[in-house]
Amino acid sequence: MNVHAPLPSGPSLAQQIQHAAQCLRGVQAGRSLTELLPAVPAALRPGVQAIAFHALRQAGLSAALVRLLAARAPTPAVRTLMQVALSLMPAVCVADGDPRYDAHTLVNQTVQAAKAERDTQAQAGFVNACLRRFLREAEALLAEARRDPVALWNHPAWWIRRVQQDHPQDWQAILRANNRPGGMALRVNRRQGTREAYQQQLQALGMGAHPVGEDGLVLDQPVPVDRLPGFAQGSVSVQDPAAQQAAPLLLAGQAWPAGARVLDACAAPGGKAAHLLERAELDLWALDADAQRCARIHDNLRRLGLTARVRHADAGRPADWWDGQPFDAILLDAPCTASGIVRRHPDVRWLRRESDIAQLAAVQRELLEALWPLLRPGGRLLYATCSVFRAEGDAQVQAFLERHTDARRGAAPGHLLPGRAGSDKQFNDNAPGEHDGFFYARLDKSAA
């Protein structure tokens, strides 16, 4: 997303930098942007979000630059203010789509932001001196900073090592893709019309889009959802092309009778459940362990004109919710590190710890073990995670197959890597352009 200099009548750049720095400080303290952004004043929020996203994508480099510029470690408030400013500098913003600001304007506005906050007022002169030194010595400072892999790739050191280990041929492409914003992809509700007809509606409004997958369109330029024709009436949903693969992979290759029992075990916010219902007449159960997220499932289904049995329940404890009747198919989009969707959630890489991988892999294993007995003989389970780490993908599935002789692996692409890096060729033939990182494995249960 481009960040353009605001009009004089709008929020000042200094205000946006100030709030973006507060968001960055919150992430460094362990809070997610999803939690932090609602506290930003509504008029400032779009610009602050764009700047904060960009600052997080450059946080490894900007932190290294601050260390080079400051003889003593500044306070967190001063450090994050400088990080935001440095991430926006023209010498740093070299890729297409990066923000574009005049360097001297940035220095001026950052100093104004420093003066406007009690925690940074006394250090406004220090901020000014450091940023002006960067303007004079940018080339040398950047070369020195990028000797650190964390600064070069803008990921934690453990994350870089793990991706190198898991994807030795593609690790650089994965990390580069993570530092580019994801496009805006739509899923057309085939119950309300065809993808081709919706594409024509977009074109009539001056919005270019190209097909992706079986039901998707990728917009040439992102737009607010209220500008999408028929969005409020359920004609279309926003969903990444990789996530759009779940429904076709689960339903592929057989005719599903009306009323077939299907479980979406970790369903919130409901995008994959809705896609299943758009494609088949199912008796769909949609579970989630979070009551507030269950409300989002209800809201999404209502907008799309779809019906499911939504349950606030822990999928790992079937005794609390299961009626004893086996399911024909199960979708398990399991809790994971979200390492595949950092294009859209750039704070994730800085919030995760390496120990989270093993902890979440244990949760995934428990869910697989709890749900497999609920599947009828001859049924299928689609295991999915939005992760690029093999412990949450291939390794998890191989271990499951070793434990269960009544399971075999069906047709599914395995690891889909972000930005098409090393991803399944057949998938990419049907999904031109970039997509999030995902993992899919279909586990078929023997009929005997």
Instruction: Kindly report, residue by residue over 244-285, the tens digit of the pLDDT.
Output: 999 999 999 989 999 999 999 999 999 999 999 999 999 999
- Mean pLDDT of all residues in 308-328: 97
Q: In whole angstroms, what is the distance from residue 282 CA to residue 264 CA? A: 11
Q: Residue type for 311, please?
A: R
pLDDT of residue 422: 45
Task: Look at residue 431 and tell me whether its pLDDT is greater than 60.
Answer: no
Instruction: Kindly report, residue by residue over 48-82, the tens digit of the pLDDT.
Output: 999 999 999 999 999 999 999 999 999 999 999 99
Task: Look at residue 149 and tell me whether its pLDDT is greater than 50.
Answer: yes
By annotation, the residues acting in catalysis are: 386
Look at residues 77, 12, 78 and name the one whose alpha carbon lies nearest to residue 51.
12
Burial of 266 (0-12, 13-18, 19+ CB in 10 A): buried
Of the pLDDT bands very low, low, confident and very high (cuts 50, 70, 90), residue 425 is: very low
Of the pLDDT bands very low, low, confident and very high (cuts 50, 70, 90), residue 99 is: confident
Task: Look at residue 168 and tell me whether its pLDDT is greater than 60.
Answer: yes
DSSP-assigned letter for residue 344: T
pLDDT of residue 434: 75
pTM for the model stands at 0.93
Task: Look at residue 359 and tell me whether its pLDDT is greater than 60.
Answer: yes
- Residue 395, H or E segment: helix 394-403
* Long-range CB contact pairs, 189-198, < 8 A, 24+: 189/234, 189/235, 189/236, 189/237, 189/278, 189/304, 190/215, 190/278, 190/279, 191/278, 191/305, 191/306, 192/230, 192/233, 192/234, 192/235, 192/305, 193/235, 198/229, 198/230, 198/235, 198/236
Q: Quick count: other Cβ atoms within 10 Å of Cβ 292?
A: 9
- Mean pLDDT of all residues in 114-121: 95
- Mean pLDDT of all residues in 343-352: 97
pLDDT of residue 444: 98
Task: Look at residue 433 and tell me whether its pLDDT is greater than 80.
Answer: no
Of the pLDDT bands very low, low, confident and very high (cuts 50, 70, 90), residue 182 is: confident
Q: In whole angstroms, what is the distance from residue 371 CA to residue 164 CA? A: 32
Look at residues 284, 282, 311 and name the one whose alpha carbon lies nearest to residue 295.
311
- Mean pLDDT of all residues in 144-162: 98
Instruction: Kindly report, residue by residue over 24-47, the tens digit of the pLDDT.
Output: 999 999 999 999 999 999 999 999
pLDDT of residue 341: 96
Task: Look at residue 426 and tell me whether its pLDDT is greater than 90.
Answer: no
Task: Look at residue 7 and tell me whether its pLDDT is greater than 60.
Answer: no
pLDDT of residue 10: 59
Give the pairing type, strands 327-333 and 309-312. Answer: unpaired
Q: Which domains does the chain show, CATH number per domain? A: 13-154 (1.10.940.10), 185-238 (3.30.70.1170), 243-445 (3.40.50.150)
User: Apex CA 32: angle with CA 180 and CA 167, to 5°?
Assistant: 45
